[in-house]
Structure 1
């Protein structure tokens, strides 16, 4: 066995042991994105009597958006390692919303926002980022499913909900308390898997996602309903005979995201307080039993510290403060989102003195509408940004290096003259690093101010975006507006990605864009135990990183270009398989309609022209003459692009137009063809007067590769 293979095997064994505990927290295939009270969900699953079976219908429902995202992607068995199955994910979201509407359930989806400026969860966030880096490496080298969310899945989730007109709101910070407060004010339950919701006092209770059988609709009379289970805090209090006001104290003593009491665990073995009849004594059951003799949190806290032996006054005060802080996280404030959902009014931004004035007022509404990235608040308030960690071999550099210049423009717009770098939390090998990145303003961007960015001229905002991507408006003018940002990003990727993507990767990407629906249905393009090519994965991860950062910049600039619908234009599993088949020469001729061919060739020519212009920019004193033949070919390419733009929605006319252009191309290349090929070319030219014949002979099987 090679030394590299030995190293990878040892690393996999080490990491598998390291993450055993986190996998123990997995239920129904879903790792909870926020752990809350560790082990609580698993513990309560062994006490099914705390749940009540319900037939859920005709109700409002507040949904933990982060949990739903993970449920719909991971529990659907979608591919995680080849860049995402976004079309299938979109379909899952559509089916979920259709199930709710069939039962007359009105959803309100609430998403997390920026990082807590107090950094109370910094240790937790850092640990999870490090864990994800390790798991992403395991997935790349071993092919295992490590629950790594594809980079653009969250964007597909939000785009699909917006298209379906589902009410969505993004909080300024973490969403848990706002979700609970909103549910109480709307008098409806919460749908989530986060164990914190077992502690919140929810008037209509919690519907655990693990028991929400939305794919198994049943009918009672003429109405449909979703079979599920409902949980209320009174259930656990009755079962373990504790006072309701002690539940937050229980969560704090058990340890949650905000309270790290591992040292307390080394002093107090809560399992010793389990009843003798307990089949499998656990720390959580022991802690609940121990709390029976108390009525108020304060007395329970002091008694718990007494079990730790002699403590200094300072140490005791620190522990008490931490326990009270942890308990306060379960106090529900008045909802700030109710007015937004009912009247479209954005909530006020928290008025902490240290953050006052850093966030312009105009940002509040689009941010709450989930039309701006959460990272905007992190940059404005903390000058920090967390980057993604896609499936990648640790030996490859971070996929986000290629898109850094795009983010630098965004940092420049956000921070203006405030100065100072943004600390990017990125991967370096298998390690998490903070990397200082300086904001950058150049060109038109230097003329804009964040406070008035929403009022800037549309032409200025468009120019900032195009300058950041290194393309011109003229180079994209031959394309329909829905493809312009996607193609600008692709041109940028071809110039910035390292190593530079070869033409095979580009053609696979564009072929997937032009023929996404047809290719997804091809059985021979499905993932079938194909080992991940880490080089191809790295290239397309860079493309997704460029797309993600470009969309965020486009959002900040007020959408000067329409946002690409990711699920319609990119499928990671398809492009990986196309590259594989091209490389192994097993590529079959693919059947396309004429408009797809025109679209493909138009996009390909845009990228090639962009690369050519970048590579052969003449000096001021030097001019390169253009040969008549090359000039004529350029005119034909322009004609092809213009035809696509003109007839993209008219397939019959596009077919005729395509045949004419192809006939002209064949005539121009006639001198370069073999005798046999020249004969076929002439036959196509002669049949150019009969578009129906062209459609049958020329476009029945088109090999665009």
Structure 2
């Protein structure tokens, strides 16, 4: 939710805010608001679909700033949509706006921002690793956040102007008014705090003689929020003359004169119900009852409920077998997992409302939506959620061209090689082996096809194989090369040094795809530096050639947007099945800037595979892994490259003689753009770039 114009009003009247040193306190965080804020405030690149490692590091830095100051954060997320659809039109409006923003970014207007679809998963990973208290509410979280804040007598941290309306005893801290760099107090050289500014409702209402905190929900309603638009009250505003505010403290601009006029008008009414009747009396008779109902619903949304969340954090709960939710009786394990942030709210909406919103990514709007690629995985999820053909279909809202369209998707109740899918009640009773088979079979694989592949790679190999077979249009082989290099870079070239052991090479040879730790042990510091240098040179060269990210081939971005939908759907499937295989972090699978720019560079090469090997270092174990990974993927899809990959139109017509000539030219070009194997032993290079700090290295190349 959010009150129209209220944030701008506070920005122009900062005298209403109190300077505060935030430390040694509990703090309630609006989770949905905060995870967006961190992505944008820390300037994480989004133009290529998400730089998740940089985002992960930013989230970690954000929370460590709080913890350093002895601040105890509680992160509260929104739950499912209300069954009465009170906010459906607002939600659909935002989905349409996101399509428009995507189109603007593709067209070259870089000002809109789109939150990458896997950011929530990364955010939750970090708060769990840091031991941050967290919870997902059943519905919208605003009321629960306000209730918990008043229970603990601590502030709320958000950028949602609705918290200016709630009667919060310890106030509301706008995220935009916090300096997240810990500062030392003059009184103590050891105690740290965050300098910030805090809003209290009384700071505003005291400017108006007869306006109390109880008037503020009506004030917010008349201005318009997510539940009711201000256009509903057009007749009211046209028929009354709002009094002018006389105040030396509050700045009155044309933009906020209406807002202050409403507050001045409210001074004439002690009773909020009476004021509501006056408002609707100016409307058409056939509209009054409906508008009055909407007004009361909006006002009710700002009433702080009795706090129940505190018991979740302060004591262990019982273990009921079933829980009633929106009139449905659902398995307690499922609702419990939703509330503990172990399952996404997406599943809850699909189950209770039979409706989901698929948010547009940065993609080619002339092609089918990127979400189509993962449809069959979602259909299997829907089948397990509904459990019965009589439950009907799931309505998906998705992009079609530049518009939002709805389609009714048929759930899948069985998958090949496994048979009938389990219902929600049956899932916890299945063995891990059965749940693993369901996951792999849904993605078109079996455990036997993954022989020699370490379990750590099962998720990634399964998703990539599914992606290759379901993309539209078919991908080029260099798309696959780019994502494999991305995987190697994210998992091998990190800040953690692994000591080589005597059996590391033996372990490597014993498996087709050994675990990442084994590959790291077999990779020297010079080899890491070689890869780091080559990627930096490629990305820098690409950035110099393209001043704006829209110049990167949008078909490349679209292809990797399809991959992200597959990653998300597979994560949801694995989570629903209680994670029978290791769930990897999206931050260790995909980096948008790296993948898209590397793919753009490979696209121009006569021999992309040779060029990829040069990037990795021909004699390194990373090249061996790259080749083995290709072999595994092709064996999983059981097809030749000609059947699964499009031919590169630029090179398919060349004769073998021309290819050989081009390959020699490519090698010459490679030597001018990359540090070749001969320079791998340079100690100075190795010492400077031995650690691949992706969050810093790619951030400067994001063109964002």
Provide the TM-score with structure 1 as the length reference: 0.78
Contact 2:383 2:421 in 1 (8 A): no
Contact 2:634–2:641 under 8 Å retained in 1: no
Unaligned runs of 5+ in 2: 494-527, 644-659, 665-677, 687-704
Q: Corresponding residue for 2:615? A: 590
Contact 1:62 1:183 survives alignment (8 Å): yes
Q: Kindly state the Cα deviation for residue 58 of structure 1 after the two structures are TM-superposed.
A: 0.6
Residue 173, structure 1, aligned to residue 145, structure 2: no
Which residue of the partner structure matches residue 280 of structure 1? 253
* CA-CA distance at 1:143 after TM superposition: 4.7
CA distance, structure 2, for counterparts of residue 395 and residue 38 of structure 1:
34
Measured against aligned partners, the alpha-carbon deviations of 1:362-415 in whole angstroms (never above 9, x if no partner) come to 112211111101111111111111112101232121001111000010011010
Going from structure 1 to structure 2, the CA distance change for 1:209 and 1:447 (only over 3 Å counts) comes to closer
Higher mean Cα deviation, 197-206 or 140-149?
Answer: 140-149
Match of 1:639 in 2: none
Match of 1:666 in 2: none
Deviation at 1:89, TM superposition (A): 0.8
Residues 371 and 562, structure 2, Cα contact 8 Å, conserved in 1: yes
- Highest RCO, 1 vs 2 (Cα 8 Å, sep ≥ 6): 2
Partner in structure 2 of residue 523 of structure 1: 536
Q: Deviation at 1:350?
A: 7.6
- Per-residue deviation, 1:447: 5.2
Q: 1:315 to 1:552 in 2, by over 3 A?
A: same
- Match for residue 231 of structure 1? 199
Task: Give 1:478's match in structure 2, choosing from 433, 452, 455.
Answer: 452
Counterpart in the other structure of 1:329: 301
1:468 corresponds to: 442
Which residue of the partner structure matches residue 380 of structure 1? 351
The 8 Å contact of residues 514 and 569 in structure 1, kept in 2 or not, is answered as no
Which residue of 2 is the match for residue 17 of structure 1?
none
Distance change in 2, residues 1:271/1:591 (3 Å) = farther
Q: Map Cα deviations across residues 189-210 of structure 1 (whole Å, 9 max, x no partner).
A: 1100111101111111111111
Q: Which among 164, 172, 177 is matched to residue 211 of structure 1?
A: 177
Counterparts in 2 of 1:381 and 1:428: CA distance versus 1, 3 Å? same
What RMSD over aligned residues (CA atoms) do the two structures have, in Å? 2.8
* Alignment map for 1:228-627 (pairs within 5 Å): 228-241=196-209, 242-269=211-238, 272-275=242-245, 279-281=252-254, 282-306=257-281, 308=282, 311-312=284-285, 314-345=286-317, 351=324, 355-357=327-329, 359-417=330-388, 418-443=390-415, 444=418, 446=420, 448-516=422-490, 517=493, 522-524=535-537, 525=539, 528=543, 529=547, 530=549, 531-585=551-605, 589-591=614-616, 594-613=620-639
The answer as to whether partners of 1:54 and 1:230 remain within 8 angstroms in 2 is yes
**1: CA distance, partners of 2:73 / 2:92:** 32
**Aligned partners of 1:438, 1:233: CA distance in 2, in Å?**
49
Displacement after TM superposition at 1:344 (Å): 4.8
Q: Following the alignment from structure 2 to structure 1, what is the Cα–Cα distance between the partners of residues 208 and 582? A: 55
Displacement of 1:246 after TM fit? Answer: 0.6
Q: By how many angstroms is 1:419 displaced?
A: 3.2
Q: Do the aligned partners of 2:439 and 2:573 also contact (CA within 8 Å) in 1?
A: yes
CA contact 2:365–2:401 (8 Å) conserved in 1: yes
Partner residue of 1:632?
Answer: none
Against the structure 1 CA distance between its residues 185 and 115, is the aligned structure 2 distance closer, same or farther, given a 3 Å change threshold? same
Query: What's 1:77 paired with?
Result: 43
Task: Give the direction of change, closer, same or farther, for the CA distance of 1:574–1:271 in structure 2 (3 Å limit).
Answer: farther
In 2, the alpha carbon distance for the partners of 1:346 and 1:217 equals 42
- The CA deviation string for residues 632-662 of structure 1, in whole angstroms up to 9 with x for no partner, is xxxxxxxxxxxxxxxxxxxxxxxxxxxxxxx
TM-aligned CA deviation for residue 173 of structure 1: 1.3
Deviates more, 1:402-411 or 1:594-603: 594-603
Deviations 1:278-311 (CA, angstroms, capped at 9, x unpaired): 64242111111111222121122123234x26x4
Please state whether the residue corresponding to 1:390 is helix, strand or coil: coil
CA shift for structure 1 position 151: 1.7
Equivalenced residues, count = 586
Structure 1 equivalent of residue 77 of structure 2:
111
Aligned partner of residue 240 in structure 1, secondary structure: coil
Give the whole-Å Cα distance in 1 for the aligned partners of 2:489 and 2:57: 18
Tell me: CA distance 1:201–1:605, structure 2 relative to 1, closer, same or farther (3 Å). Answer: same
Gaps of 5+ in 1: 1-33, 618-672, 678-692, 701-705
Q: Identify if the C-alpha distance between structure 1 residues 539 and 248 changes in structure 2 by more than 3 Å, giving closer, same or farther.
A: same
Match of 1:24 in 2: none
Distance change >3 Å, CA 445–CA 184, structure 1 → 2: farther
Partners in 1 of 2:313 and 2:179 — Cα distance?
Answer: 26
Aligned to 2:296, what secondary structure does the other structure show? helix
C-alpha distance after superposition, 1:468-517 (max 9, x if no partner): 10112123342332221011000000111111211100010011101224
> Residues 555 and 288 of structure 1: is their aligned pair in 2 closer, same or farther, counting only changes over 3 Å?
same
1:144 alignment partner, SS class? coil
For residues 62 and 304 of structure 1, do their structure 2 counterparts lie closer, same or farther at Cα, with a shift above 3 Å needed?
A: same
Indicate the residue corresponding to 1:629 in structure 2.
Answer: none
